[in-house]
Amino acid sequence: MENENIVTFDNVTIDYVMKKYNLRAVTDFTLNIRRGGITAFVGESGSGKTTAVSALLQAISSPGKITQGKVVFHGDEDVDVSELKGEELRRFRWEQVSMVFQASQSTLNPLMTIYDQFYETAFYHGAVASKEAFAERLDELFDMVKLDARRVLKAYPHQMSGGMKQRVMIAFALLLRPSLVILDEPTTALDVITQKYIFNQLIEINRKLNTTFLLLTHDIGIVAKAADYVAVMYAGSIMEYADVYTLFGEKLHPYTRGLINSTPSLIRDAGEIKPIPGAPPDIRSLPEGCPFHPRCEFCTERCKTQKPKLIRRGEHHWIACHLYGQDGGEHENS
- With respect to residue 125, please indicate whether it lies within any of the assigned structural domains: yes
Range of the domain at 23: 5-319
The reported pLDDT for the residue numbered 86 is: 93
Whether the predicted pLDDT of 266 surpasses 80: no
Nearest one of 300, 172, 327, 321 to 256, comparing CA atoms: 321
Neighbouring CB atoms inside 10 A of 208's CB total 9
Residue 306 CA to residue 141 CA, distance in Å, equals: 50
Angle between helices 162-174 and 131-144 (to 10 degrees): 130
Residue 276 CA to residue 44 CA, distance in Å, equals: 11
- With respect to residue 333, please indicate whether it lies within any of the assigned structural domains: no
Handedness of CA 168, 172, 178, 184 (dihedral sign): negative
The reported pLDDT for the residue numbered 330 is: 47
Per-residue pLDDT reduced to its tens digit, 1-51: 467 999 999 999 999 988 888 889 999 999 999 999 999 999 998 899 999
The reported pLDDT for the residue numbered 81 is: 95
- CA 176 vs CA 95, 140, 179, 243, 287: distances in Å: 5, 12, 9, 29, 44
- With respect to residue 36, please indicate whether it lies within any of the assigned structural domains: yes
Nearest one of 308, 314, 310, 313 to 296, comparing CA atoms: 308
The reported pLDDT for the residue numbered 182 is: 95
**pTM of the model as a whole:** 0.90
The reported pLDDT for the residue numbered 332 is: 35
Per-residue pLDDT reduced to its tens digit, 301-314: 999 999 999 999 88
- With respect to residue 325, please indicate whether it lies within any of the assigned structural domains: no
Structural domains of the chain, count: 1
The terminus-to-terminus CA distance of the chain in angstroms comes to: 41
Helices (H), the chain: 49-54, 86-91, 114-124, 131-144, 149-152, 162-174, 192-209, 220-226, 244-250, 254-261, 301-305
- With respect to residue 332, please indicate whether it lies within any of the assigned structural domains: no
Nearest one of 128, 107, 84, 76 to 172, comparing CA atoms: 107
Per-residue pLDDT reduced to its tens digit, 37-88: 999 999 998 899 999 999 999 999 889 999 999 999 999 899 999 999 999 9
Residue 105 CA to residue 14 CA, distance in Å, equals: 28
Q: Count CA within 13 A, CB hemisphere, residue 168.
A: 31
> For 284-288, which contacts have Cβ atoms below 8 Å and span 24 or more sequence positions?
284/21, 284/23, 286/24, 286/235, 286/236
- CA 231 vs CA 89, 154, 287: distances in Å: 27, 40, 21
Higher pLDDT, 333 or 26: 26
- With respect to residue 334, please indicate whether it lies within any of the assigned structural domains: no
Identify whether the C-beta of residue 259 lies closer than 8 Å to the C-beta of residue 275: no
Q: Residue 269 — pLDDT band, cuts 50, 70, 90?
A: low
Residue 80 CA to residue 241 CA, distance in Å, equals: 23
Residue 79 CA to residue 130 CA, distance in Å, equals: 31
The reported pLDDT for the residue numbered 101 is: 80
Among 1-10, 134-143, 218-227, 324-333, the range scoring the smallest mean pLDDT is 324-333
For residue 115, give the CATH number of its domain: 3.40.50.300
Nearest one of 69, 78, 176, 178 to 123, comparing CA atoms: 176
- With respect to residue 297, please indicate whether it lies within any of the assigned structural domains: yes
- With respect to residue 282, please indicate whether it lies within any of the assigned structural domains: yes
Identity (one letter) of the amino acid at 242? A
Rounded to the nearest integer, the mean pLDDT of the chain is 89
Identity (one letter) of the amino acid at 188? T
Helix (H, G, I), strand (E, B) or coil at 131: helix
